[in-house]
Amino acid sequence: MSSWDPVYKLVKKIPRGRVTTYGALAKALRLRGGARVAGYAMAACPGGKGIPWHRVIGAGGRLLIREPHASLQRRLLETEGIIIDGKRVNMKKYAWSGPEARAKSKSTQSRQAGHGRSRATRDKRKR
C-alpha cells in the first residue's frame, strides 16, 4: 500500500470527459503542501493500475505536463471529448465538481430542510 493511495482512489472517481486540478485534489484530500504535493503524487502514479492520471491538470485548466507525456495527455483527453484550446481546458465546461461539491450540497440541503440552527438559536448565541 502506497502513501498516495487516497490520491489515486479519488482520481479513479473522476468520470470520463471531466478533469480536476491539482489544487482541487489537494483540497479535497486536505493534503499538506497543497497542489504541489498532489503533483508529486501524480508524478509517482503507477502504470497499469487504471488510474486516469491525464484527468488531473493545472489551475485555470492549464496542461502542465512536459513532453513526452504532454502529447499523450492531450490525446487521451481529446479521445474523451475534451476540447483543448492551445494548452488549456475550459474548466467551466469540463471541471469535475468532485466530492466536496456533494458534501456542500448535502449541508445546504440539510439547512434548507430545517435541520440547521433556527433563527432564535442563532439570535441567542449572538447575545
pLDDT of residue 19: 96
pLDDT of 58-99, one tens digit each?
Answer: 999 999 989 888 999 999 999 999 999 989 999 999 999 876
Prediction pTM value: 0.75
What secondary structure letter does DSSP report for 49? S
pLDDT of 89-118, one tens digit each?
Answer: 999 999 998 766 444 444 444 444 555 555
Q: Work out the percent of the chain whose per-residue pLDDT is above 70.
A: 76
84 touches 13 (CB < 8 A): no
Q: Which fold has domain 5-96?
A: Arc Repressor Mutant, subunit A (1.10.10)
